[in-house]
Amino acid sequence: MPKRKERGAATVTILDVARHAGVSPMTVSRVINGHSYVGEEMRQRVEASVKALRYTPNLAGRSLRSSGSARIGVLYSNPSAAYLNQFMLGVLEQGSQSGSQLLIEKCSGIRSQRAATERLLAAGVDGVILPPPLCDSRSAVEELESAGVPVVAVATGSPMDGVASVRIDDYQGARAMTRYLLELGHRDIGFIKGDPQHTPAALRAAAFFDTMKEAGLAVPPGRIAQGLFTYRSGLAAAEQLLKAPNRPTAIFSSNDDMAAAVVSVAHGLGLHVPEELTVTGFDDTPVATTVWPELTTIHQPVAAMARAAMVLIQDEIRRKRSGRPKAATHQVMKFTLVKRQSSASPATSA
Amino acid sequence: MPKRKERGAATVTILDVARHAGVSPMTVSRVINGHSYVGEEMRQRVEASVKALRYTPNLAGRSLRSSGSARIGVLYSNPSAAYLNQFMLGVLEQGSQSGSQLLIEKCSGIRSQRAATERLLAAGVDGVILPPPLCDSRSAVEELESAGVPVVAVATGSPMDGVASVRIDDYQGARAMTRYLLELGHRDIGFIKGDPQHTPAALRAAAFFDTMKEAGLAVPPGRIAQGLFTYRSGLAAAEQLLKAPNRPTAIFSSNDDMAAAVVSVAHGLGLHVPEELTVTGFDDTPVATTVWPELTTIHQPVAAMARAAMVLIQDEIRRKRSGRPKAATHQVMKFTLVKRQSSASPATSA
DNA sequence: CTGAAAGCGCTTACAG
DNA sequence: CTGAAAGCGCTTACAG
């Protein structure tokens, strides 16, 4: 005697749907997954049953049968808590959806990096995702790839050949922001550079300079400050820029943490943001909506990028298992310019 | 002919371990799960094999067989991006570990709350987790429970009878912080209250007052400011407290966002933190380590609380399925006082 | 204390 | 275009 229905709560399975629609479970499966050719009439019958029974597939069952049950590692360092949270959110979301198992390893410094890599390999990972700044670590990539483990680099400014990557176009992002500031009427714009060790920092700076140049505007050295992507470095950079004899009407910071610092310093100097000073950031991390005024910034879809990285790594794993060559896809995701309260046209009296 | 081994990568299964150890898969399963009585010699043999083969169980397989494959809803409103990220991280972690499926619904206002609840019920959730501030919504709890769906409330200041909850002891947390400030030598301490709509806010305030009173210290009304847990409200509160004729030597803010605002205002007034003003927060969200100086605060283990909530809801679901009564466990997790750079003894010249 | 059998929900080949 | 069979990796009863 089958005991399929012993539980109190009726869990609708693919079999229930099949029975309801008067077809085989296979057909239901095909409809759900949008696979191959299914007769139009059947498709509709199945879809109606799915709806009527409120069926949602059990992912455990699916991933058990499909080869989705990969073991995926995430190796990170230098944790900006906010970024990492968002990133891991995407990774976990996609992971639980596809039934993959995740192994998270943190490292700091080259020695612990090697140890962490070893641990991942020992645990039998099928693929590894590298969020920034490890996405640019040749040593990490090489150690993993030479062990036959595919890698996906996330948010790198310079994707490596043969290594899959997901990123936004940092250059175009910074260009869009600079153009926006120009459109607002700003001509005298300060810029805070990011950590030179991080590849996207250079792209953001280059885009700023190029766009200013195209607009026929010179950027004197006094309008540039070096930052390290930290709030603290942003404080110093802001003071440098704002204590100049005649300050700029806008400051474009290479990330949000530093932009938040600029807002704080401006406030301290009695400058109203955005009436007397426009401040913009980059990344749209949670701090952008925490500070007041909220920051105009370039939204980097961190969670979506993490999800995309999971999809890419799973594809590489599948390819490897079936003996196909690497795809090494370079995926570029869309950024968006988010206008909030920290930006405005310069005061006419400036 | 079995095709168990067709894949290139050798995925170690429980069967491999069983063969290696010369026992049945059942015995391996029992050892792994620490179940029932297994002969000591066998246990060791199995454990050795697990290690030798680097076996890690496939969670999809496990959750398919066990009744772990519950469908769990998370209903949230009023998103503090940082808090929610951390919270979801914990939920997803636990969810993927136990093979549960997650349904996330956001709502704002009572009308959309009802709609979101309906959607969860329509999707056939087996249980729902309510992060703050929905953890205190009687209407949400009642609607779900009356539909027979168990609920776990997270971070509520006043747990309801018969509804499972996970929280920290906000009163003791604020008490610990106040004592710490007193130990540092502060006597004149300002306090910023949180949103009165959130139940923990009152507990934190009460603990501050009680502890000051016990120390024989009066808290004049001018030392208290009302906040709403937002950075913006913290700016206003900080100005109110710091522009008083003789300002306090320390300000205890009911959360980190407002404390970050205090630091910014202090900086603006030319006050050095912590030399001239100690600032402390509550929660230890990412902003606490973003600002400079980094905030001394009470660490609330948000991700761990989310994980605990998942475990509780799964327990309730299991109970319900097997016809047992609700457990309605109230779990209190430990907070920790994290000392960072924003606090110090008051200047002797103060 | 240990194991042989059956089945969780789904999808991959293989037939038609 | 559709379906019957088999099996993904694991654990729940049921026997011994």
Tell me what the mean pLDDT of segment B38-50 comes to.
87
- What's the pLDDT score for residue A348? 62
Is the residue at A113 inside a domain? Answer: yes
Question: Which residue of B58, B89, B268 is in closest CB contact with A88?
Answer: B89
Distance in Å, residue B1 CA to nucleotide C15 C1'? 18
**CA A8 – CA B149 distance, rounded (Å):** 13
Is the residue at B287 inside a domain? Answer: yes
Quick one: B262 and B245 in the same domain?
yes
Residue A209 CB neighbour total at 10 angstroms: 14
Quick one: B150 and B182 in the same domain?
no
Among protein residues, the one whose C-alpha sits closest to the C1' atom of D7 is A65
Please check whether strand D approaches the CB of B26 to within 7 Å: yes
Which of strand D's nucleotides are less than 7 A from any protein C-beta?
1-5, 7-13
Residue B288's Cβ-side half-sphere holds a number of Cα atoms within 13 Å equal to: 25
Predicted confidence band of residue A67 (pLDDT cuts 50, 70, 90): low
In angstroms, the separation between the Cα of residue A60 and the nearest Cα of chain B is 5
- What's the pLDDT score for residue A322? 63
B 86-125 near A (Cβ less than 8 A): 86, 88-89, 92-93, 95-96, 99, 101-102, 122-124
C-alpha distance from residue A157 to each of A153, A160, A197, B190 (Å)? 10, 10, 11, 46
**CA A181 – CA A290 distance, rounded (Å):** 22
Predicted confidence band of residue A1 (pLDDT cuts 50, 70, 90): very low
Quick one: B249 and B106 in the same domain?
no
- What's the pLDDT score for residue B3? 34
Quick one: A295 and A174 in the same domain?
yes
Residue B78 touches chain A, beta carbons under 8 Å: no
Quick one: B34 and B109 in the same domain?
no
Predicted confidence band of residue B303 (pLDDT cuts 50, 70, 90): very high
Please check whether strand D approaches the CB of B14 to within 7 Å: yes
Residue A149 CB neighbour total at 10 angstroms: 22
Quick one: B296 and B316 in the same domain?
no
Quick one: B88 and B190 in the same domain?
no
**CA B251 – CA B258 distance, rounded (Å):** 11
Quick one: A30 and A52 in the same domain?
yes
Predicted confidence band of residue B67 (pLDDT cuts 50, 70, 90): low
CA nearest neighbour of A307 among A158, A152, A174: A152
Read off the CATH number of the domain in which B73 is found: 3.40.50.2300
pLDDT at A96 over 80: no
Is the residue at A51 inside a domain? Answer: yes
Is the residue at B3 inside a domain? Answer: no
- What's the pLDDT score for residue A320? 77
Is the residue at A339 inside a domain? Answer: no
Q: Which chain A residues have a beta carbon less than 8 Å from that of B122?
A: 54
Q: Does residue A164 sit in helix, strand or coil? A: strand
Each residue's pLDDT tens digit, B189-201: 999 999 999 999 9
Read off the CATH number of the domain in which B26 is found: 1.10.260.40
Please check whether strand D approaches the CB of A40 to within 7 Å: no
Using DSSP bridges, classify how beta strands B71-76 and B101-106 pair: parallel, antiparallel or unpaired.
parallel
Q: Which protein residues have Cβ within 7 A of any strand C atom? A: A 2-4, 11, 13-15, 25-26, 29, 32-33, 35, 57-58, 60-62, 64-66; B 23-27, 30, 36-39, 41-43, 61, 64-65, 69
Nearest CA in chain A to B291: A231
Please check whether strand D approaches the CB of B4 to within 7 Å: yes
C-alpha distance from residue B57 to each of A62, A101, A321, B44, B289 (Å)? 17, 10, 20, 18, 37
Nearest CA in chain B to A63: B60
In angstroms, the separation between the Cα of residue B346 and the nearest Cα of chain A is 22
Q: Does residue B167 sit in helix, strand or coil? A: strand
Q: Which structure tokens are listed for A286?
A: 């949670």
Is the residue at A63 inside a domain? Answer: no
More confident residue, A44 or B184: B184
- Asked if B270 lies within 8 A of A267 by C-beta distance, the reply is no
Tell me what the mean pLDDT of segment B41-60 comes to.
84
Among protein residues, the one whose C-alpha sits closest to the C1' atom of C9 is A61
Quick one: A283 and A178 in the same domain?
yes
Is the residue at B48 inside a domain? Answer: yes
Q: pLDDT above 70 covers what percent of chain A?
A: 93
Tell me what the mean pLDDT of segment B121-149 comes to.
91
CA nearest neighbour of B259 among B329, B177, B187: B177
B 257-316 near A (Cβ less than 8 A): 257, 260-261, 263-265, 267-270, 286-287, 289-292
Mean pLDDT of chain B, nearest integer: 89
pLDDT at A128 over 50: yes
Q: Which chain B residues have a beta carbon less than 8 Å from that of A124?
A: 12, 54, 56
Q: pLDDT above 70 covers what percent of chain B?
A: 93
pLDDT at B68 over 70: no
Residues 6+ apart with CB under 8 A from B202: B157, B196
**CA B343 – CA B350 distance, rounded (Å):** 15
- Asked if B231 lies within 8 A of A292 by C-beta distance, the reply is yes
Structural domain for A103, as ranges: 68-169+302-333
Q: Which of A245-254, A299-308, B24-33, B273-282 has the lowest mean pLDDT?
A: B24-33
Q: What does residue B40 show for φ and ψ, rounded to 5 degrees?
A: -60, -40
Predicted confidence band of residue A2 (pLDDT cuts 50, 70, 90): very low
Q: Does residue A232 sit in helix, strand or coil? A: helix
| Number of domains making up chain B | 3
In angstroms, the separation between the Cα of residue A226 and the nearest Cα of chain B is 17
Helical segments of chain B, H only: 14-21, 25-33, 40-53, 59-65, 81-98, 109-122, 138-146, 170-184, 199-214, 231-242, 256-268, 287-290, 302-321
B 10-69 near A (Cβ less than 8 A): 11-12, 54, 56, 58-61, 63-64, 67, 69
pLDDT at B19 over 80: yes
Residue B169 touches chain A, beta carbons under 8 Å: no
Residue B319 touches chain A, beta carbons under 8 Å: no
In angstroms, the separation between the Cα of residue B97 and the nearest Cα of chain A is 8
Quick one: B270 and B307 in the same domain?
no
**CA B41 – CA B46 distance, rounded (Å):** 9
CA dihedral sign of residues A101, A107, A110, A112: negative
Q: Which of A135-139, B74-78, B318-322 has the lowest mean pLDDT?
A: B318-322
**CA A297 – CA A177 distance, rounded (Å):** 8
pLDDT at B349 over 70: no
Q: Which chain B residues have a beta carbon less than 8 Å from that of A123?
A: 54, 56
Q: Which structure tokens are listed for A60?
A: 């455990």
pLDDT at A129 over 90: yes
Alpha carbon dihedral B137, B138, B144, B146, in 10-degree steps, equals: 180
Q: What does residue B320 show for φ and ψ, rounded to 5 degrees?
A: -60, -45
Predicted confidence band of residue B63 (pLDDT cuts 50, 70, 90): confident
Predicted confidence band of residue B278 (pLDDT cuts 50, 70, 90): very high
C-alpha distance from residue A194 to each of A204, A253, A260 (Å)? 8, 8, 14
- What's the pLDDT score for residue A39? 85
Q: pLDDT above 90 covers what percent of chain A?
A: 59
Is the residue at A196 inside a domain? Answer: yes
**CA B226 – CA B232 distance, rounded (Å):** 12
Q: Which of B3-12, B161-170, B174-183 has the lowest mean pLDDT?
A: B3-12
Quick one: A23 and A77 in the same domain?
no
pLDDT at B36 over 70: no
Nearest CA in chain B to A127: B9
Residue type, B87: F
Please check whether strand D approaches the CB of B39 to within 7 Å: no
Predicted confidence band of residue B110 (pLDDT cuts 50, 70, 90): confident
Using DSSP bridges, classify how beta strands A189-193 and A164-168 pair: parallel, antiparallel or unpaired.
unpaired
Cα-atom radius of gyration of chain B, to the nearest Å?
A: 25
Quick one: B263 and B275 in the same domain?
yes
